[in-house]
Amino acid sequence: MNFIVIGGGAAGMSAASKAKRSDPSISVTVLESGKYVSYAECGIPYLIQGIVPDASGLLHYPLTEFTVKRGIDVQTGTKVDAVDRK
């Protein structure tokens, strides 16, 4: 079984992690258009205002937390334009 998540924000990474925990044998892939995953989107206004000094302050976990420790294939810089379920 293949489980594909579009979007690597906090919710997407949570869904990917839950799927992998539920069945470690499945293939889990996350497609993220940006270069970071597991970030707090709600903190972006604080970044813009300068309250959070740089984007790394919005990251919950480093990429290796998902790729190495959890066995999730994360593809950053990957934009999804359409979905063909066939």
What is the spatial order of strands in the sheet that 27-32 belongs to? 2-6, 27-32, 73-76
Instruction: Tell me how far apart the alpha carbons of residues 33 and 59 are, in angstroms, rounded to a whole number.
Output: 16
Query: Catalytic: which of 11, 26, 41, 42?
Result: 42
Is residue 36 part of the annotated active site? The answer reads no
As beta bridge partners, residue 76 has: 32
Q: Catalytic positions, please?
A: 42
